Structure 1
Amino acid sequence: MSVIPDKPQAPFPDKPKVPAADQTLRILRFLAHQRGPVAAQTVATQLDLPRSSVYHLLAAMESHGFVVHLEGDRRWGLGTAAFELAGGYARQEPLARLGRPIVAQLADRAGESAHLAVMTGRDVLYIVEERAPRRPTLITDVGVRLPAHLTATGRAMLAALPREQVRALFPDAASLSAERTGRGPGRPRELRELLRQTRADGHATEDGEVTLGFRSIGVAVRDHAEWPAAAIAITWPEDAQVDPIRLADLAIDAAADLSRRIGRR
């Protein structure tokens, strides 16, 4: 007599008591693993959900900022509220705890101050700061938020995002209006060119846009889905005798180390 093998048990055998909540979380998780925005039909097909339900849920999430609808492309991507969740995760310490020894070692090797930041909306939030000996205190202290498009950490993360996502975050000149020293991109076209150069160089730079007299180099920290989970940067006084290429290499190595520790293959 043949024996029929037992059917494998599902990780969560009980049906969700709130199907809409379950479907919403599945959609968010699916979008988070994509390289860029996708069509609603793709979401429905991949998750085996009714298309009408997907549209209703996406509309609800859009009203709360968790997704954005790119009308011209007819695609959906994560919104700024999703970044807020990522920032909340970072504030609860796991990323900071993993990054702190790496940033400290980077500051020692570079002889300059180093920091770790995450994206939250259109800003970056600094979660680790290591000041090098005999270097002045920087504005980039833990808990400080600065406009992402002005900072090396923010530019590094923006350059690692899909271009459609950047357009959703910075659709017009008004979204780029925050400035500190009168420097930095003032139009979306200028930001796109800056990010193009960042991708070509493999790292971001900043020269006096945050604080006059200081420069920075930043590199994105990517997670298992190649999403920019954070960025590491080095900052130094512009009159310091440094080799920017060497500092960029050190930042790239540090970012790669942290990327591996958070699960990037």
Structure 2
Amino acid sequence: MGDSSAVPAAEQALGILSYMARQRGPVTAAAIANALAVPRSTTYHLLAVLIRQGFVTHLSERRRYGLGVSALELGTGYARQEPLAQLGRPLVETLARTAGANAHLAVMHGTDVLYIVEERPRQAPRLVSGLGVRLPAHLTASGRAMLSAMPTEQFWALYPDREMLVERTGRGPRTVAELRDWLRTARARGYATEVSEITQGLVSVGLPVLDHLGWPTAAIALTFPEADGRALDEVADEIRPASQELSRRIGGVPARLVHRDVTSRP
């Protein structure tokens, strides 16, 4: 049998993660200890373990703790499974049919996006962003849509440095500073775009799907040939009902109700 003494520690660690997930932003160790009735020394010990495992990040300048990349991956791991795909597939199918373009549903996986639903009408071009494919989030409309709606601390946990970002076709942001500019534009428009950054000649428009805290759980996007000459605002209007309906189905809020600036330092 396992060591039963480890059970309370496991429960307390899960309690910390659950508490942090319900907050709007990073919290102090004292707030965690008080909320969970856990000794402060124990709280610091558990936080240190969670930091080493990537589930928590320490914002030393603010003396606060926020959720780390591993917590995000755990959440998207759930999202990648059937509940979100089952809820979103009918919406994506309808969108692809009515828009006459490739439609897909994607979730974040670290700094990548993972496509969990894709619908391709007849005659539509085959995409590299097929079911189960992962692509750099900063190069895709789906990824940018989610990044633009992401809590500030989560964005900086994903992109802590100003290192160069990968590119595929010679287009798109090459540094975190440039990415921040792209996200400002996406937030101002209410949707994100990508033009020939994944595949030459193809354009994508994406909108986020938000949970009950207003955090991005997924994104829905349409992809079509640049030669179609579609107005991007009109494409976004086609996607918006599907993204808002999926947000509603998961108990979330419409993207228009969220006002967040991921481009400033926490």
Alignment partner for residue 177 of structure 1, among 165, 174, 197? Answer: 165
Cα drift, residue 137 of structure 1? 0.4
| Alpha-carbon offset, residue 25 of structure 1 | 0.9
Whether contact under 8 Å (1:80, 1:122) holds in the other structure is no
The structure with more radius of gyration:
1
Give the Cα–Cα distance (whole angstroms) in 1 for the partners of residues 24 and 181 of structure 2.
21
Work out the CA distance in 1 between the residues paired with 2:128 and 2:189. Answer: 26
Q: Does 1:116 align with 2:105?
A: yes
State the AA in 2 paired with 1:259. S
C-alpha distance 177-17 of structure 1, shift in aligned 2 (>3 A):
closer
Structure 1 residue 114, shift from structure 2 partner? 0.6
Aligned partners of 2:196 and 2:63: how far apart in 1? 39
Tell me what 1:74 maps to: 63
8 Å CA contact 2:101–2:121 kept in 1: the answer is yes
* Aligned: 1:229 with 2:217: yes
1:178 positional shift:
2.1
Task: Give the deviation of 1:154 after TM superposition.
Answer: 0.8
Deviation at 1:18, TM superposition (A): 1.5
After superposition, give the CA deviation of every residue in 1:94-118 in whole Å (9 maximum; x if it has no partner): 1101100000111112111110001
CA distance in 2, matches of 1:179, 1:74: 35
Give, in angstroms, the shift of residue 184 of structure 1.
Answer: 1.6
**Aligned partner of 1:104: which letter?**
E
Counterpart residue type for residue 97 of structure 1: Q
User: Does 2:22 correspond to 1:33?
Assistant: yes
Asked if 1 retains the 8 angstrom alpha-carbon contact of 2:54 and 2:71, the reply is yes
3-state SS in 2 of match to 1:173:
coil
How far has the Cα of 1:17 moved from its partner? Answer: 7.8
Shift >6 Å, 4+ stretches: none
Instruction: State the 1:260 CA deviation.
Output: 0.6
Q: Confirm or deny: 8 A CA contact 1:35 1:226 kept in the other structure.
A: no
| Map of 1:50 onto structure 2 | 39
Q: From 186, 201, 211, give the equivalent of 1:213.
A: 201
Shift of 1:63: 0.7
2:125 paired residue number: 136
Matched residues, number:
249
Deviation of residue 35 (structure 1)?
Answer: 2.2
Which stretch of the first structure deviates more once superposed, 33-42 or 191-200? 33-42
| Residue 47 (structure 1) shift | 2.4
Quote the Cα distance in structure 2 between the aligned partners of 1:182 and 1:196: 21
Matched residues, percent identical?
57
DSSP-derived class of the 2:107 partner = strand
Supply the distance in 1 between the matched residues of 2:237 and 2:25 (Cα, whole angstroms).
28
Which residue in the other structure is 1:8 paired with? Answer: none
Q: Which amino acid in the other structure matches residue 143 of structure 1?
A: G
Q: TM-score, normalised by structure 2?
A: 0.88
Are the counterparts in 1 of residues 76 and 217 from structure 2 also a CA contact under 8 Å? no
2:75 is aligned with 1:89: no
**1:94-146 residue CA offsets vs partner (Å, 9 max, x unmatched):** 11011000001111121111100011111110000011221110011111001
Residue identity matched to 2:142: T
- Please report the RMSD computed on the Cα atoms of aligned residues, expressed in angstroms: 1.7
In the alignment, is the contact (CA less than 8 A) between 1:39 and 1:76 conserved in 2?
yes
Aligned residue number for residue 192 of structure 1: 180
Long gaps (5+) in structure 1: 1-15
Listed one character per residue, the Cα deviations across residues 52-80 of structure 1 (whole Å, up to 9, x for unaligned) are 22211111111111111122222221111
Contact 1:116 1:230 (8 Å CA) reproduced: yes
**CA contact under 8 A between 1:127 and 1:143: conserved in structure 2?**
yes
> Which amino acid is the alignment partner of residue 235 of structure 1?
T
TM-score by length of 1: 0.89
**Residues of 2 paired with 1:37 and 1:193: CA distance?**
24
The answer as to whether partners of 2:104 and 2:221 remain within 8 angstroms in 1 is yes
Instruction: In structure 2, list runs of 5 or more residues that go unmatched.
Output: 254-266
Q: Who is 1:23 aligned against?
A: 12
Please name the residue that 1:243 is paired with: 231
